[in-house]
Structure 1
Amino acid sequence: MHEASLGGTLRDYLTGEEIDETTFEEFRQALARLLVEEKGYPKAQLKAKVPLTYCVEGEEFERPLDLVVYDEDGRPMLVVVFCAGDVGSFERETVCAGRLIEGGPVAYALVTDTMDASLLDVRTGEVVARSMNAVPDYARLAEMVASAEIKPLTDEQREKQTRVFHTYCGFIYGTCCSESCSLPPMPKKG
């Protein structure tokens, strides 16, 4: 299923602003609410639809990340990707996003369909935990991040991760049935 406009608007949980209602937006809103109300994440430290901009063969692309959790200093701590389909088939793409995000890499990434989830160690690419219970509360995430080994990518590593990421969201999931599909990545508008 591809994300498409439903023609209406809804109030964003994080900002209070009116936003476009899409086939995935209710899920993003539910994830944000879960993180804040059940897991103790500070609302001000969550941002939705954070653009991940990258370049392949001289062309810039942009893929929005569903949610990003930032620390008090504005550094990304956790990338959250919503998927429609088998959570396991989105794990590698999500790890790449966690490695490529501006200000990153992050220590952990989460991919979920809101029924199942995989918490991923971004450095190793390994699954740390599965199920919706894998979503750490904010205090636990802060502890995990503080003890994680986070190393910036070399230029060569960044290039390889960018190509893998682009392959997943550009070719595997990006070849679509019609021009009306809004599935990223989209070439970045100048």
Structure 2
Amino acid sequence: MHESSLGGTLRDYLSGEEIDETTFEEFRQLLVKLLVEEKGYPKDRFKAKVPLSYCVDGEDYERPIDFVLYDEQGKPIFIILFCAGDVGTFERETVCAGRLIKGGPVPYALITDTMDASLMDVMTGDVFARSMAAVPDYADLLKMVTKAKVEPLSDEQREKQTRVFHTYCGFIYGTCCSESCSLPPMPPKK
């Protein structure tokens, strides 16, 4: 199922601004509220819909990352992607995003549909834990991040990861089946 506009607005939990109401936006809002109010994440360290810009064959593209958590120095340490569908089918895309995010790679990434989740080790690509119970408290995440060994990507690694990521994005964003879908087509970035 593609994300569709519901024609209304809702108040964004992080910014307090009115944003478009879509078939999935309420789930994203509940997810970030859970992370802040129940898991202890600092609200001011999250950014929503962070663009991940990349280039394939001379064309620039952009894909929004649902949530990025930054440390005190402004370095990304955790990304969260929402998916509608089997969480496992989005794991590789999520790892690629964690490796390619500006300022990254991040040590850990989460893919969730808000009922299930996979916590991913971005450097190895392994599933660290599964289920919503696998979502770490903020204090636990900080301990994990401190122990994580994160290496920057070589140019060759970045190119390979970009192509894999683009393949997933092209599949998701390039196959809309109706005009009601609110996912924008993935045109080259201007």
TM superposition score category, shorter chain reference: over 0.9
Give how far 1:149 is off. 0.4
Matches within 5 A, 1:14-163: 14-163=14-163
> In structure 1, what is the Cα distance between the partners aligned to 2:100 and 2:59?
16
Q: Secondary structure at the match of 2:69?
A: strand
TM-score, length-normalised on structure 1?
A: 0.96
Q: Secondary structure at the match of 1:81?
A: strand
User: Are the equivalent residues in 1 in contact too, given 2:5–2:181 (CA < 8 A)?
Assistant: no
Give how far 1:137 is off. 0.6
Give how far 1:188 is off. 4.5
Give how far 1:180 is off. 4.5
What is the count of residue pairs matched by the alignment?
A: 190
Structure 1 residue runs of 4+, over 3 Å off? Answer: none
User: Are the equivalent residues in 2 in contact too, given 1:91–1:118 (CA < 8 A)?
Assistant: yes
User: Are the equivalent residues in 2 in contact too, given 1:87–1:111 (CA < 8 A)?
Assistant: yes
> Structure 1: which 5+ runs fail to align?
none
Give how far 1:3 is off. 1.2
Matches within 5 A, 1:163-178: 163-171=163-171, 174-178=174-178
- Name the CA shift for 1:131/1:185 in 2 (closer, same or farther; >3 Å): farther
Give CA-to-partner distance per residue, 1:123-151, whole Å, 9 cap, x none.
Answer: 00000000001100111111101110000
- Name the CA shift for 1:56/1:165 in 2 (closer, same or farther; >3 Å): same
> In structure 2, what is the Cα distance between the partners aligned to 1:151 and 1:174?
31
TM-score, length-normalised on structure 2?
A: 0.96
> In structure 1, what is the Cα distance between the partners aligned to 2:21 and 2:171?
26
Match of 1:3 in 2: 3
RMSD between superposed Cα atoms in Å: 1.3
> Structure 2: which 5+ runs fail to align?
none
Q: Secondary structure at the match of 1:151?
A: coil
Give how far 1:4 is off. 1.6
User: Are the equivalent residues in 1 in contact too, given 2:59–2:189 (CA < 8 A)?
Assistant: no
- Name the CA shift for 1:79/1:184 in 2 (closer, same or farther; >3 Å): farther
> In structure 2, what is the Cα distance between the partners aligned to 1:68 and 1:161?
19
Q: Secondary structure at the match of 1:187?
A: coil
Identity %: 78
> In structure 1, what is the Cα distance between the partners aligned to 2:173 and 2:129?
25
